[in-house]
């Protein structure tokens, strides 16, 4: 197994950055086989603080270059590299970064800035809390006191890392046919906006948002039970509401008042919503959490108990998915940390070792691996300026957020994404809200009944002329559509099969229904946002596991397309919402002896200290980051 190549085996990445976003992006490259060389000028930069770099710098090398010879040596390294990553902290006028792709036309040069390379904010500090404040992230979530909240999770830099990785992968895919690299640019602002897509218009209905930090939907919120533990319900459609209402004992109330309560998801008005919400909350307060979970699961209701990340790292499904990895770090000792969020059936990712604690002095330029030569020399293709995924066809079978977001990202990169829906459509389509429109822009769509033989035949014909299928259903759902893995491979041996599931493709929870808030609850995101000794907070507006999962699904799909071009391998790709949560709360998915407690928000959700928090002024709110 160790001899099996990973997707990026033979690829060399030069990392000049110092920020967290670029470090996470290059970690994704290293985990998938790339040789990542961090370049530093001083021995003190070899082992970085904070401790999360024990995760983000794993599997990389460090090269220390003397100041007097560093510029030419760096240029020589970049001349033979495949990818260069920089951020605002690595700006070097002496190196001439913009000219490096002229010297080496194979090079993919990725820059991660705070707000973009142009515009009025281009020189502002690239601080993820300030970016979140500017992009509306902090104002998107209800608070106990009114006004914005300090969001403890690093959505801006995680989003930027995912977008950078996806951009690099798309550029490498295009290079397989053109021989040319090119420039990739993203920003923390773009990363934040990944979690806050906007679609505004007079004809776009505005859906009600959460009314409290625990939620707003009577069957889609987090509730306290008799033992002080909390459970998250995730009844995303009326069928689940019916099941949950029967178990909880409020079904008769809903059915006897349909004009007031509707199907239980969207009561008639705010008064009716609050009344039904309170009925559910009062009922759930009568029994311990585990007793409710046992009965709700028996009825196939999406639900789970809210946990800390420390508890999550012992969860059997998380362990089954390989999301906890043991590594002997040279500074921290034996650690347990975030594992591999994307699985490839034929070109597996691997954690290649701990971060180094010493640097190679004046490292020689990287040599191209003879096992993985570049496919072709640069050509002057008539499609040289086309989007990197132009000509790629994606058959998308998705609902709600994670899957549609993956398809939207692929469409943005030039893929022809065909949204393949049942006659009833995506379950989010009837709402027609800003989210649905944003997630599905740039796609084509078709509606087919795959319960019929004719519908199954249409599905197979589309799969036979596609480059990848993209699905976010429970494992086995595509089999029932006539699209099982063996059939698909026989129809189209070059087809990539990409799946985003709630819990993973197999394992103890694989067949449970799941949604973003339940993944938030399981992986510790809700508990961390609530802070110490405070109720958990359900981050509904951010849906961090959904958006992260969508980006991971898109990244896995493009990496699999690269593997197909490099090695002639078409394979299955799998990621899940639990993996998304482990990436988003990696600070907490790091455990070692003597680890100090993480700084969490105060009970008012204002911040984590006097110099990093929200303050109310005479005319609004500001966020201080010092």
Q: Which residues contact 523 (CB under 8 A, 6 or more apart)?
A: 307, 309, 312, 318, 545, 578, 581, 582, 584, 585, 589
From 83, 86, 73, 123, select the one nearest 104 (Cα to Cα): 83
Is residue 555 in some structural domain?
A: yes
Is residue 119 in some structural domain?
A: no
Cβ count near 175 (within 10 Å): 24
From 597, 584, 493, 599, select the one nearest 544 (Cα to Cα): 584
Greater confidence, 386 or 289? 289
Instruction: Give the CATH number of the domain where residue 468 resides.
Output: 3.40.50.10540
Is residue 482 in some structural domain?
A: yes
Is residue 539 in some structural domain?
A: yes
Phi, psi of 186 (to 5 degrees): -150, -175
Which percentage of the chain shows pLDDT scores above 90?
Answer: 76
pLDDT in the model for residue 1: 47
pLDDT at 41 over 50: yes
Greater confidence, 122 or 66? 122
pLDDT in the model for residue 203: 64
Q: Which run of H or E residues covers position 182?
A: strand 182-187
pLDDT digits (tens, 9 = 90+) for 226-254: 999 999 999 998 899 999 999 999 999 99
Q: How far is residue 337's CA from residue 29's CA, in Å, rounded to a whole number?
A: 17
- State whether residue 33 is helix, strand or coil: coil
pLDDT digits (tens, 9 = 90+) for 467-507: 999 999 999 999 999 999 999 999 999 999 999 999 999 99
Q: How far is residue 354's CA from residue 349's CA, in Å, rounded to a whole number?
A: 15
**Range in 29-43, 502-516, 596-610 with the lowest mean pLDDT:** 596-610
pLDDT at 263 over 90: no
pLDDT at 310 over 80: yes
From 569, 551, 584, select the one nearest 170 (Cα to Cα): 551
pLDDT in the model for residue 92: 61
pLDDT in the model for residue 370: 52
Q: How many helices (H) and strands (E) does the chain have?
A: 23, 23
Is residue 343 in some structural domain?
A: no
* pTM (two decimals): 0.95
**Annotated catalytic sites, by residue?**
546
Give residue 543's domain range.
393-584
Q: How far is residue 603's CA from residue 529's CA, in Å, rounded to a whole number?
A: 10
Q: How far is residue 425's CA from residue 440's CA, in Å, rounded to a whole number?
A: 13
Number of domains in the chain: 1
pLDDT at 91 over 70: no
Greater confidence, 386 or 573? 573
Q: How far is residue 153's CA from residue 186's CA, in Å, rounded to a whole number?
A: 20
Task: Determine contact, residues 77/363, Cβ cutoff 8 Å.
Answer: yes
Give the chain's mean pLDDT: 91
Beta strands in 212-275 (DSSP E): 222-224, 230-233
Q: Tell me the average pLDDT across 78-94.
A: 83
pLDDT at 82 over 90: yes
In angstroms, how far is CA 239 from the centroid of its own chain?
28
Is residue 438 in some structural domain?
A: yes
Is residue 233 in some structural domain?
A: no
Q: How far is residue 588's CA from residue 582's CA, in Å, rounded to a whole number?
A: 8
Is residue 344 in some structural domain?
A: no
- State whether residue 616 is helix, strand or coil: strand
């Amino acid at each position: 197994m160790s001899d099996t190549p990973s997707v990026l085996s033979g690829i060399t990445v030069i990392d000049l950055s110092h920020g967290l976003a670029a470090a996470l992006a290059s970690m994704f490259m290293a985990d998938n086989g790339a040789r990542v060389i961090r370049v530093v000028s001083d021995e003190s930069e070899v082992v970085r603080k904070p401790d999360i770099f024990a995760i983000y710098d794993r599997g990389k090398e460090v090269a220390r270059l003397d100041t007097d010879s560093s510029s030419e040596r760096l240029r020589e390294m970049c001349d033979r590299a495949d990818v260069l990553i920089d951020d605002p902290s690595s700006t070097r006028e002496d190196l001439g970064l913009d000219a490096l792709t002229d010297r080496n036309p194979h090079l993919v040069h990725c820059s991660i800035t705070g707000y973009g390379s142009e515009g009025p904010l281009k020189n502002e500090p690239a601080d993820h809390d300030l970016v979140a404040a500017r992009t509306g992230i902090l104002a998107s979530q209800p608070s106990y006191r009114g006004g914005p909240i300090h969001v403890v999770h690093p959505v801006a830099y995680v989003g930027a890392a995912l977008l950078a990785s996806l951009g690099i992968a798309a550029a490498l895919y295009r290079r397989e046919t053109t021989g040319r690299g090119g420039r990739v640019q993203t920003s923390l602002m773009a990363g934040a906006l990944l979690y806050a897509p906007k679609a505004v218009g007079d004809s776009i209905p505005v859906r009600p948002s959460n009314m409290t930090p625990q939620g707003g939907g009577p069957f889609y919120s987090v509730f306290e039970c008799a033992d002080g533990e909390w459970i998250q319900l995730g009844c995303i459609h009326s069928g689940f509401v019916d099941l949950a209402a029967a178990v909880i004992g409020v079904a008769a109330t809903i059915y006897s008042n349909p004009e007031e309560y509707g199907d239980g998801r969207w009561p008639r008005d705010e008064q009716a919503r609050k009344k039904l919400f309170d009925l559910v909350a009062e009922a759930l307060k009568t029994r311990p959490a585990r007793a409710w979970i046992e009965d709700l699961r028996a009825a196939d209701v999406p639900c789970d108990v809210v946990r800390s990340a420390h508890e999550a790292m012992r969860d059997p499904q998380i362990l089954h998915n390989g999301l906890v990895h043991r590594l002997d770090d040279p500074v921290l000792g034996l650690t347990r940390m975030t594992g591999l969020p994307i699985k490839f059936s034929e070109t597996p990712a691997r954690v290649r070792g701990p971060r180094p604690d010493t640097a190679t002095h004046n490292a020689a330029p990287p040599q191209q691996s003879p096992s993985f030569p570049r496919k072709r020399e640069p050509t002057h293709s008539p499609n040289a300026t086309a989007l990197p995924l132009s000509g790629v066809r994606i058959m998308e079978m998705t609902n709600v957020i994670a899957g549609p977001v993956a398809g939207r990202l692929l469409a943005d990169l030039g893929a022809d994404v065909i949204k393949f829906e049942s006659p009833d459509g995506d379950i989010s389509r009837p709402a027609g809200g800003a989210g649905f429109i944003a997630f599905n822009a740039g796609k084509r769509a078709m509606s087919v009944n795959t319960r019929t033989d004719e519908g199954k035949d249409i599905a197979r014909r589309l799969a036979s002329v596609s480059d990848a299928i993209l699905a976010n259903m429970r494992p086995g759902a595509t089999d029932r559509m006539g699209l099982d893995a063996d059939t698909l491979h026989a129809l189209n041996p070059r087809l990539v099969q990409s799946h985003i599931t709630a819990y993973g493709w197999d394992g103890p929870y694989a067949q449970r229904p799941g949604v973003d808030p339940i993944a938030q609850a399981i992986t510790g995101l809700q508990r961390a946002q609530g802070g110490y000794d405070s109720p958990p907070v359900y981050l509904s507006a951010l849906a961090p596991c959904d958006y992260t999962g969508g980006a991971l699904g898109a990244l896995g799909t493009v990496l699999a397309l690269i593997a197909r071009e490099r090695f002639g391998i078409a394979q299955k790709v799998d990621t899940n919402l639990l993996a998304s949560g482990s990436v988003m709360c990696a600070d907490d998915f790091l455990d070692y002896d003597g680890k100090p407690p993480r700084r969490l928000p105060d009970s008012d959700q204002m911040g984590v200290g006097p110099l990093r928090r929200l303050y109310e002024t005479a005319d609004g709110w500001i966020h201080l980051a010092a």
